[in-house]
Amino acid sequence: MPLRVLALCLGNICRSPVAEALIRRELAAAGLDAVVDSAGTGAWHVGNPADPRSQKVAHQHGLELTGTARQLAPADYGEQDIILAMDRSNLERARRLAPPTARAKILLMRDFDPEAPGECVPDPYYGGPDGFGDMYRMLERSAREFARRVAAGH
């Protein structure tokens, strides 16, 4: 059975699509069988592609963001093994919405960032392009460490 991972942010157009692509890349590089997806806790952008600024930063690093935004669904709690929230607000919302039968572990993405464990990935939506570069670096470190720990059996 492949590991099933969901990256989660607010609208599923900035942070979580980039996290999805990075987690997929790092797990594959570690030789791990995984299905990686992303979602948002809100429905504002459902059906839309990733923000052009996220697409640009991903493309600069050889990643393509091909999915469209979707909202976190009740089924995700049973289908996913791990849900990685980008910030505490989305972490708490995901935990509040979790049904009693939820099997997915809900964690903070930067729990895996060796430079700042437990910190949030700031939402770059209302900022300039530098915020997207900073976001990418945080997510890349976190995804790499996440894959390392999964490969080590943690």
Angstrom distance (rounded) from CA 131 to CA 135: 6
Catalytic residue chosen out of the listed positions 24, 25, 123, 144 = 123
Q: How far apart are the first and last CA of the chain?
A: 17
15 flagged as catalytic: yes
Strand 82-85 and strand 3-9: the pairing is parallel
- Tell me if 38 sits within 8 A of 76, measured CB to CB: no
What is the secondary structure of 28-76 as a DSSP string? Answer: HHTT--EEEEEEESS-TTTTPBPPHHHHHHHHHTT-----B--B--TTH
Catalytic residue chosen out of the listed positions 9, 70, 76, 93 = 9
Catalytic residue chosen out of the listed positions 14, 15, 51, 113 = 15
> Residue 89, Cα to own-chain centre: how many angstroms?
14
Residue with token string 């490969």: 151
Catalytically active residues are: 9, 15, 123
